[in-house]
């Protein structure tokens, strides 16, 4: 077993674009320029990648928010698929305006930016080209269409960025390669104001980790504070002030939409934190006006209600959850998200019916008043000031385990162990426990269970000479997740143990 975060790719595209690559470290930066023709691909004509991709989609039993995502496949020089992922489209801005008084939605728009950039982290060195797919709504259903095949160019000799004095790990729960790392970036703070940035983050982080189920899984998260100095304070209105990331309200003529230069933010953060330590980037704007936005880089202000808005956006960006309100442009049909469906049976969350009395089938969801259904009367994905509720919480926990393993570390690190007469060896597993400890460990020797604690000692004299396989199986058995089809909440490690007769 390798304990590490899943390889992640941040990809953006228009249906019509031209593309150019630059690279730093193991990152590919794809700069998009609209209005050029799509690239064609020769290796795709063999259908090998299409078959590969289709099989992966069929196996994707955990929901993916297809409308906000793209898909990428990395190919070898011979056209063999090396990896794939579903990634967020940074061209999309979610412009959602909720009443700070009632918490109900007032307006909702999905805005496509004129250009954006793509960063691909940790691609295999043998990757030669990328296939990029985009979602299209055709014949009342979502489908993946090929955008094109593009060359992979990298500069692998450049080292990862080193942490600078402007970066502070304000909540440290462990190594970033087995944690979800949230990065809060200061915007609109002058040199005389930046000293209070960390204090401004205290109510924000408290609000994040007070919300269920994040409260129970806060040990799976790290939080970083990234400072930046602006010439002017606050944010502009309709056009940017002279600030580090050019923030302004009334973006696209939507009063509460708070925009920033997302590529400038990503570049600034990537120069200060390695890719493994920047899973969710949120720009905190030094203004008490109410506003924010969602997308590959989220924004929030210092308004009291902005924390709920940021949690709602995290439900989209991190949790891959859909909006449950019925305001906006309706496209009733098949959905990929865990919390909405067009089946009146509520098949996606039927396993919760009878377990949680609040869960049933309620018409009106994902911008449709009719023909789309949600699992509860109200949740944070419908209006602010509400809990996520059971179905959404289950999905959020599954998403946590997309980034972390319930196994933090193991002893011994070597996968082969030799034991001679009169010797013994202690094996241990460091469990990443929620606050309510529901992670269990079970030890099996040649498939027979011999223990159920975090450590086990084998004594050579207790066993006949020979080769044995020792496995520790670890699982989070939380009651907050009923359905875990892909076994995201499980992991295991095995050792080969040889017992000698002398």
Find all residues with CB under 8 Å of 323, minimum gap 6, and list them.
Answer: 96, 105, 108, 316, 365, 366, 367, 381, 382
Can you list the residues of the chain whose pLDDT is less than 50?
1-25, 32-46, 59-63, 155-159
Domains 167-318 and 407-499 share a fold: no
Give the distance from CA 152 to its chain's centroid.
24
167-318 has CATH 2.40.33.20 classification: no
Q: What pLDDT score was predicted for residue 99?
A: 80
Q: What pLDDT score was predicted for residue 56?
A: 54
Q: What pLDDT score was predicted for residue 16?
A: 27
Quick check: helix, strand or coil at residue 407? strand
The Cα 285–Cα 494 span in angstroms is 48
Which pair of tokens denotes residue 141?
A: 């259903």
Which pair of tokens denotes residue 182?
A: 């949230």
The Cα 401–Cα 179 span in angstroms is 9
The Cα 298–Cα 280 span in angstroms is 8
Q: What angle do CA 91, 306, 238 make, to 5 degrees?
A: 55
156: number of CA atoms within 13 Å, CB side?
8
Q: What pLDDT score was predicted for residue 408?
A: 96
Question: Between 306-317 and 197-208, two packed helices, what is the crossing angle to 10 degrees?
Answer: 60
Q: Which residues of 412-442 are buried (b: 16+ CB within 10 A; e: fewer)?
A: eeeeebebeeeeebebbbebbbbeeebbbbe
The per-residue DSSP string of 189-250 comes to: --TTTGGGHHHHHHHHHHHHTTSTTTTTTGGGEEEEEE----SS-S-EESS--S-TT--EES
Pairing of strands 180-187, 236-237: unpaired
Q: 453 exposed, middle or buried (CB, 10 Å; 0-12, 13-18, 19+)?
A: exposed
Q: Where are the domains of the chain?
A: 9-151, 167-318, 407-499
Quote the DSSP letter at residue 322. P
- Give the closest residue to 318 by CA, choosing from 292, 279, 285: 279
Q: What pLDDT score was predicted for residue 483?
A: 94
Pairing of strands 448-451, 81-88: unpaired
Q: What pLDDT score was predicted for residue 31?
A: 55
Pairing of strands 92-98, 105-112: antiparallel
Q: Which fold has domain 407-499?
A: Immunoglobulin-like (2.60.40)
pTM (2 decimals)? Answer: 0.81
Q: What pLDDT score was predicted for residue 83?
A: 78
Give the distance from CA 297 to its chain's centroid.
12
Which pair of tokens denotes residue 411?
A: 């002893």
Phi first, then psi, for residue 490 (nearest 5°) are: -125, 155
Rg of the chain in Å (alpha carbons): 24
Q: Which residues of 108-142 are buried (b: 16+ CB within 10 A; e: fewer)?
A: bebbebeebbbbbbbbeeebbbbbbbbbeeeeeee
CA distances from 150 to 7, 122, 411 (A): 19, 17, 43
- Give the closest residue to 205 by CA, choosing from 215, 191, 220: 215
296, 282 Cβ separation under 8 angstroms: no
The Cα 240–Cα 420 span in angstroms is 71
The Cα 303–Cα 286 span in angstroms is 10
Find all residues with CB under 8 Å of 286, minimum gap 6, and list them.
Answer: 186, 187, 188, 189, 193, 200, 230, 233, 234, 235, 302
């Amino acid at each position: 077993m390798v304990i590490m975060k899943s390889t992640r790719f941040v990809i953006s595209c228009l249906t019509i674009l031209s593309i150019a690559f630059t690279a730093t470290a193991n990152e590919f930066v794809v700069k998009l320029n609209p209005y050029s023709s799509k690239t064609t691909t020769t290796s795709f004509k063999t259908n090998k990648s299409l078959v590969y991709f289709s099989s992966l989609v069929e196996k994707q039993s955990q929901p993916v928010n297809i409308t906000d995502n793209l898909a990428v496949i990395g190919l070898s020089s011979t056209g063999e698929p090396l990896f794939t992922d579903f990634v967020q489209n940074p061209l999309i801005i979610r412009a959602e305006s909720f009443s700070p008084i009632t918490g109900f939605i007032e307006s909702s728009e999905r805005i496509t930016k004129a250009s954006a950039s793509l960063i691909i982290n940790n691609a295999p060195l043998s990757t030669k080209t990328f296939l990029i797919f985009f979602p299209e709504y055709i014949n009342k259903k979502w489908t993946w269409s090929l955008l094109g095949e593009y060359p992979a160019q990298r500069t692998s000799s450049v080292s990862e960025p080193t942490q600078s004095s402007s970066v502070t790990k304000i909540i440290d729960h462990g190594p970033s390669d087995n944690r979800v790392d949230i990065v809060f970036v200061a915007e609109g703070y002058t040199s005389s104001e930046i000293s209070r940035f960390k204090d401004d983050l205290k109510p924000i982080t408290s609000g994040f980790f007070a919300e269920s189920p994040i409260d129970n899984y806060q040990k799976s998260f790290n939080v970083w504070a990234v400072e930046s100095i602006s010439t002017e304070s606050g944010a502009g209105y309709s056009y940017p002030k002279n600030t580090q990331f050019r923030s302004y309200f009334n973006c696209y003529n939507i009063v509460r939409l708070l925009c920033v230069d997302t590529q400038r933010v990503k570049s600034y953060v990537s120069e200060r934190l390695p890719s493994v330590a920047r899973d969710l980037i949120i720009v905190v704007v030094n203004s008490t006006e109410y506003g924010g936005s969602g997308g590959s880089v989220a924004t929030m202000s210092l308004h009291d209600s902005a924390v709920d808005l940021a949690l709602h956006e995290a439900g989209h960006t991190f949790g891959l959850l859909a909006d449950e309100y019925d305001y906006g442009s309706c496209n009733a049909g098949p959905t990929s998200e865990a919390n909405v469906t067009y089946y009146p049976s509520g098949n996606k969350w039927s396993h919760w019916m009878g377990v949680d009395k609040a869960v049933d089938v309620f018409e009106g969801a994902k911008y449709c008043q009719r023909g789309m259904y949600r699992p509860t009367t109200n949740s944070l994905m419908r209006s602010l000031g509400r809990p996520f509720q059971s179905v959404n919480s289950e999905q959020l926990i599954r998403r946590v385990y997309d980034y972390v393993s319930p196994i933090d570390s193991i002893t011994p690190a070597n996968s082969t162990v030799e034991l001679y007469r009169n010797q013994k060896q202690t094996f241990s597993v460091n469990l990443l426990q929620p606050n309510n400890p529901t992670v269990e460990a079970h030890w099996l020797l040649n498939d027979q269970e011999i223990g159920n604690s975090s450590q086990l000692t084998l004594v050579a004299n207790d066993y006949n000479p020979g080769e044995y396989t020792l496995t520790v199986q670890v699982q989070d058995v939380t009651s907050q997740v009923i359905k875990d089809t892909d076994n995201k909440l499980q992991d295991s490690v095995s050792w080969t143990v040889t017992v000698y007769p002398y």
